[in-house]
Structure 1
Amino acid sequence: MGYTDYNTFLMFGDSITEYAFDQYCLSTDIDAPVQFTLGPALQNIYQRKLQIIQRGFSGYNSRDAVPLAKSILKTEHDNLPDSKKIKIAYMFFGTNDARLIGNSPLNNESMPLERFIPQMKEAVKEFTSRNIPLIVIAPGVHVAKDWDKSHPDDLITGDYRTNERNKLYQDTLKEIITDVPVLGLYDLMMDWINEKPNERSCSDLLCDGIHFSGKGYKLMFDALLETIKKHYPECHPDNLPYRFPYHADLKDDTFANID
């Protein structure tokens, strides 16, 4: 057994994936409270079982997901021995695609639904053609008043975002993508809020109106593990072998033949 021979868990998406290891919720204040984040949580629960690979790209959309999926899977899967291939993956795009198109020359994110869906289907096929267990994650909630504070120009140019659009893109993904499970974060987040509507709000789940707070990532983490348990139980951490012997079982010759 080679020391580096670990299968992998691929995190693939936009900025919500890119920032999934930021425990300060995008704050530059070193005294800001540390929050729960998805990346470290996955690393912890899959320790000595799978290696976590983070491939998140801020501002990217479904158009970019297709060529990236081809390239990432070629490098991180096709060109590797079975002992290092991707064991399971999630793909999370749509938050940028759902952005409305106004007249800003800087808006390279918005993607009409009639392009978003076939592009997502094509990206999904890159995984399914390789028999890689995949979970598609659909957009969550949006808080305009929080986002508009830091991006007031969006209101002027018309390149803003809405909950209605996020839900539309989520619902369409859930309807069209049927060969792999789709985790709809919008519905999940609204269900969480509606459990205690007088105590919870969308702002609790986001740090700036779009990107996730610790509570948002925790909700996503729990739902992701439940989805894995339901659809890909062989990839759930409870069902994966612990790599290398427990320390109490180590002997002088345990690693005599390690590569």
Structure 2
Amino acid sequence: MPPQLDRFVCLGDSLTELSWDEQGLGASLAHLYQRKLDVLNRGLSGYNSDWALHVWKQWLEPTTDGGPKTQLVTLWLGANDAVLPSELQAVPLERYKANLRAIVALVHDRCPEASVVLVTPTPFHPEGWLDERVRRGLTREHDRAPERTREYAEAVRQLGNELSLPVADAYTPVDAEMRQLGPEKEGNVFTDGLHLNAAAYKHVVNAVVKAIEAHYPEKAPDALPLLFPYWRDIPTAGALGPEFSVADKAVAAAAANHTDPF
């Protein structure tokens, strides 16, 4: 088998699907794990935990002999589950927790080597989200409530304790930044009142990386080796094999002159 990277799979809703934008969770993890793990986007915009569980039973690839392993998984659901009970996406709190348990079990069944990090849903900005609903041609009516989202974030923290899994608390720092900005500017951490901008995603990235460093230190970005050697090590290690001897000499000459041949 040719050399290949193991995987870091991000499971979630639109906050994951859209996080491959600049400085989003996916983009940031892909940067941190470049040449160490392939970061895969398995976000499902608009999905709740009922629907996501059904889809990931079909979509989540099992580990195969000789194939890449899934080393890390983030599970970030709740923004849609936590809408008001009258809404189509709503999932009752206890079923939401049961679905997260089932998803974790699915991950461990398909990918036994995977280390899971639960991520709490983040708060939202009610007025900003009302404006977005109008832009989408919907009524200017609340379909979610701040206290309900807070309950679902707390449920994730509780579930982490029950399952002995690390929790990246994204709710608390985003909520703190909103409070610090005050009523007139608290919407500035969102693109539309619900989805995060780059500044808010930094809180999520920091929470996820800290959870990995604390609970899975051997899988932290700085702990994993690069796939293929660092370029300055090629000449001394003969790392690329005899067929690269000419390239090795070119790299050695460049390194001697303290220049970057690439």
Q: TM-score range by the shorter chain?
A: 0.7 to 0.9
Structure 1 unaligned regions, length at least 5? 24-35
Which secondary structure does the structure 1 equivalent of 2:149 belong to?
Answer: helix
Q: Of residues 154, 157, 161 in structure 2, which corresponds to 1:174?
A: 157
1:46 aligns with 2:45: no
AA aligned to 2:123 is V
1:92 aligns with 2:76: yes
Which secondary structure does the structure 1 equivalent of 2:97 belong to?
Answer: helix
Q: Of residues 189, 205, 208 in structure 2, which corresponds to 1:221?
A: 205
Q: CA offset at residue 120 of structure 1?
A: 1.1
The 8 Å contact of residues 49 and 241 in structure 1, kept in 2 or not, is answered as yes
Q: CA offset at residue 187 of structure 1?
A: 1.6
Q: Describe the shift of the 1:241–1:146 C-alpha distance in structure 2 as closer, same or farther (beyond 3 A).
A: same
Number of the residue aligned with 1:124 = 104
AA aligned to 2:149 is N
Q: Describe the shift of the 1:109–1:67 C-alpha distance in structure 2 as closer, same or farther (beyond 3 A).
A: same
**RCO greater where, 1 or 2, for CA within 8 Å and sep 6 or more?**
1
TM-score normalised by L of structure 2: 0.81
Q: C-alpha deviations, 1:141-163, integer Å up to 9, x for none?
A: 1111111112143544x6x1121
Which secondary structure does the structure 2 equivalent of 1:177 belong to?
Answer: helix
The 8 Å contact of residues 76 and 119 in structure 2, kept in 1 or not, is answered as yes
1:242 aligns with 2:226: yes
Q: Describe the shift of the 1:115–1:244 C-alpha distance in structure 2 as closer, same or farther (beyond 3 A).
A: same
AA aligned to 1:2 is P
1:59 aligns with 2:59: no
Q: Of residues 163, 167, 188 in structure 1, which corresponds to 2:146?
A: 163
Q: CA offset at residue 69 of structure 1?
A: 3.1
Segment drifting more, 199-208 vs 52-61: 199-208
TM-score normalised by L of structure 1: 0.81
Number of the residue aligned with 1:144 = 126
Q: Distance in 1 between matches of 2:106 and 2:132?
A: 36
Which secondary structure does the structure 1 equivalent of 2:222 belong to?
Answer: helix
Structure 2 unaligned regions, length at least 5? 245-262
The 8 Å contact of residues 18 and 54 in structure 1, kept in 2 or not, is answered as yes
Pairs within 5 Å for 1:99-110: 99-102=83-86, 107-110=87-90
Q: Larger radius of gyration, structure 1 or 2?
A: 2
Q: Describe the shift of the 1:200–1:223 C-alpha distance in structure 2 as closer, same or farther (beyond 3 A).
A: farther
1:186 aligns with 2:171: yes
Q: CA offset at residue 66 of structure 1?
A: 1.8
Q: Distance in 1 between matches of 2:105 and 2:243?
A: 39
The 8 Å contact of residues 63 and 69 in structure 2, kept in 1 or not, is answered as yes
1:231 aligns with 2:215: yes
Q: Percent identity?
A: 28
Q: CA offset at residue 81 of structure 1?
A: 2.6
Number of the residue aligned with 1:2 = 2
CA-based RMSD of the aligned residues comes to: 2.5
Number of the residue aligned with 1:68 = 55
Which secondary structure does the structure 1 equivalent of 2:205 belong to?
Answer: helix
Q: Of residues 240, 247, 250 in structure 2, which corresponds to 1:254?
A: 240
The 8 Å contact of residues 128 and 193 in structure 2, kept in 1 or not, is answered as yes
1:111 aligns with 2:91: yes
Q: Distance in 2 between matches of 1:197 and 1:49?
A: 37
Which secondary structure does the structure 2 equivalent of 1:111 belong to?
Answer: coil
